[in-house]
Amino acid sequence: MIYIAQFFLYFLVFMAGAGIFSFLNVVVYRLPRKISFVTGRSHCPSCGATLRWYDMVPVFNWFYLRGKCRDCRARISFRYPAVEMLGGVLALLCMHYFDESAAAVAAFAFLAVLTVVALIDADTMEIPNGLVIGLLIIAAVAWACGVEPAWKDRLIGLVCVSVPMLLLALAIPGAFGGGDIKLMAAAGLFLGWKLCLTAMFLAIVTGGIYGIYLLATRRKGKKEHFAFGPFLCVGMAAALFWGEQLLEWYLGLYHF
């Protein structure tokens, strides 16, 4: 009975996370197009048919309909269920990793906004200011609820990466976008300086590998840019869960 109860708990948490990220799919689609994501029924982007409630069951409905619209049979991108599954997995990770419920909720909210940032930046090469403000609000609420790190670490995190990025962008035009700089400032206020530096390191490594891949396959030229925001977001998500362990491992190499 205990295992059955645990299974249902995990299932409910997964579906709650998937349901929230299903809504984030709507935000990602509508926000760059200046369409309200608060009002208006969800509809098929191909035929405009309004979706029924049973068409919006996270993850499972996409597979049930075989990735097609019920009305016009147009194909629906796999990105929609993938984002929903990501939400479910992140909800389970937050529940498992963080001991306090306030920390788990704050972390999940932080990751939810990062997901929207990453997808919109990948699609449009822009990071809306409203999302940056959302991260600042989450950081402020987390601090007010006593979620670690301490306020001094948060304030250092606000500037330890964003200010060097700003200076580098002023010295080398196009080195970083304004959205990336503001994103790291807001994220640093949430993560603190240690995890913020770790996130930046991971983003540079993964972004650098991707940049080399683009050059090697000639998909981008040396002077062309690609969205760096997604790599920052992945770095921040990894740092949030495993940043402390990565720091301990790295410092252990030098016997600090």
Domain-wise residue ranges, the chain: 1-97, 100-256
Condensed to tens digits (0 to 9), the pLDDT of residues 180-239 reads: 999 999 999 999 999 999 999 999 999 999 988 888 887 766 667 789 999 999 999 999
What's at 160, amino acid-wise? C
Per-residue pLDDT, 112? 98
Whether the per-residue pLDDT at 256 is higher than 60: the answer is no
State percent of the chain over pLDDT 90: 63
- pLDDT category at 253 given cuts 50, 70, 90 is confident
Looking up tokens 């495993």 gives 242
Q: Name the burial class of residue 54, with classes exposed (0-12), middle (13-18) and buried (19+) by CB atoms within 10 angstroms of its CB.
A: exposed
Per-residue pLDDT, 1? 65
Specify whether the backbone of 146 is left (phi greater than 0), alpha (psi in -120 to 50) or beta.
left
Q: Are the C-beta atoms of residues 131 and 113 closer than 8 Å to each other? A: yes
User: How many other C-beta atoms are found inside a 10 Å radius of the C-beta of residue 192?
Assistant: 24
Per-residue pLDDT, 186? 97
Q: What is the pTM of this model?
A: 0.91
User: Mean pLDDT for the chain?
Assistant: 90
Per-residue pLDDT, 74? 86
Q: Residue 218, CB half-sphere, CA atoms under 13 Å: how many?
A: 0
Helix intervals (H) in 50-149: 60-64, 79-97, 101-124, 129-144
Condensed to tens digits (0 to 9), the pLDDT of residues 6-15 reads: 889 999 999 9
Looking up tokens 């963080």 gives 98
